[in-house]
Amino acid sequence: MDKVTDALAWLPAWHLVNEITRGNLSAETLVGATLERIASLDPQLHSFITVAGEQALEQARAADAAVRNGQLPGPLHGVPIALKDDIWTRGIPSTGGSLVYRDFTPSRDAALVERLRAAGAIIIGKTQLPEFAMWPRSVNRIGEEARNPYDPRRISGASSGGSGVCVAAGMTPLAVGSDGGGSVRIPSALNGVFGLHPTPGSVPDQGTFSYSPHASLGPMTRDVRDAALLLQVMADPQRQSGDYLAELDRGVKGLRVAWTGNFGWIAADPRVIATARAAAFRLTEAGATVEEPAIHIDDIWPAFGIYTRGYALYEPDVALPYVQSQENLAKCLRDPELLMPGVAQLLQAPLPSAAEYREAKAMTAAAQQQLNRIFASHDVICSPTMAVVAPPIPAGWAQPYDDDHMGTHYTSVVNVSHGTAASFPCGLVDDLPVGLQVIAPAGQESIVLRMCRALELIQPWSTRPPLRC
């Protein structure tokens, strides 16, 4: 890669938009440099399932023509973006990470993709994930496993691992993931990028494989301002809690932070806890009050699967997730040998009974009440995002963690409580990234972004992983 390609790789999207719209940089040059970097790095990191090079270059030329003709640019004009491959894209294969859909090229865009294109973003490709986002490693039967750019012998996290890798390695400035239990925040933490889980329902999710009433599509970036910019485009204007960009630099003076290292029950690496705690307490330098109250939030994992699968069955006016639809089940179970081990079993598993759902709902409601008691006196809760740094890639299809929580110890309670949270890259342990999770009640994305922006100013994050590959 030449110096121009390398320099462009690390510029934030908001800066690139300014340069393109002022005529100082062509979108075609930027997209060409992006494709060159992907060609150089992705054979080792495997973050993409599909690279849409020709389509992207065509879009870039149109973006440059618009600038020359004086057309009003969109907020993402000419900037390449990668999308997790559970999001449908017109004219670009959309596999959901499954051989069942390897030949599926949608005739229409997902609602989110329509918004991105209207804003001027250029879809550069589709990123790696586990089949239908159902596994804690970004691996499937279509392509190689997405690998961590800090150490390619380690996992990238899931289920938006490919998106995390391509942003961390400077292949794209922006990516989109989906988060139904931590799947934006987990790979953000493990790959050392910023990732935000918006309030479920705030970002349109029509036209995706992994829709869940507890999930949201969310931005993954190296820069908090980029995340605010991307969320401003992604979110339904009727569901936005404010102008994310305008409020980003309001600061955090007077806001109250509650720190917890373990929610009262999580067994985490003490070094990870210490690294995240040190970052949280640095918010005092920006004027926030950081306290360490006694916090216990019940482990909702025993109820998580029952609650998330039963929600659409037993709650009125909730759409059935696509993966549970008769259309998808019939297609998948016609050739179950195409599925990853365990996925066919999950798809065929009996749906929870009404009694089982009521019990799971009660458990999650108790956890919600515990969170609400903390939010009654604090604006955000800070915790580690993960209990460990990125684990080594295990053999075969084994899961990489020591217990059955799939890495979601700290994250899944946010989903079932329908809140919002981000993972901020806050340090290294054994030369591997650690994330600080910042949690707020539903609709409070602006406060989460402000907190993370304040911390970014105090503790800038090095955005260049060692790429030992």
- Which residues are part of the catalytic machinery? 84, 159, 183
Residue 461 identity (one-letter amino acid)? W
Which phi and psi angles does 424 have, rounded to 5°? -110, 130
Using DSSP, state whether 86 is helix, strand or coil: coil
Nearest-angstrom CA–CA distance, 451 and 445: 10
Which phi and psi angles does 253 have, rounded to 5°? -60, 130
Q: Find out whether 455 and 436 touch, Cβ atoms under 8 Å.
A: yes
Q: Which residues contact 83 (CB under 8 A, 6 or more apart)?
A: 89, 113, 123, 125, 126, 127, 163, 175, 176
Q: Where are the alpha helices (DSSP H) in 376-459?
A: 412-416, 445-458
Using DSSP, state whether 448 is helix, strand or coil: helix
CA nearest neighbour of 174 among 182, 184, 166 = 166
Question: Angle at the Cα of 404 (from 165 to 143), degrees rounded to 5?
Answer: 35
Q: Strand pairing partners for 81?
A: 123, 174
DSSP state for residue 87 in the 8-state scheme: B
Q: Strand pairing partners for 424?
A: 436
How many C-alpha atoms does 5 have within 13 Å on its Cβ side? 15
Residue 286 identity (one-letter amino acid)? A
CA nearest neighbour of 286 among 421, 438, 389 = 438
Q: Which residues contact 420 (CB under 8 A, 6 or more apart)?
A: 196, 197, 198, 199, 414, 439, 440, 441, 442, 443, 444, 445, 448
Q: Which residues contact 382 (CB under 8 A, 6 or more apart)?
A: 257, 258, 259, 260, 276, 280, 283, 290, 436, 437, 438, 439
Written as six digits, the tokens of 402 are 């020591």
For the chain, give the number of residues: 469
Written as six digits, the tokens of 81 are 């973006």
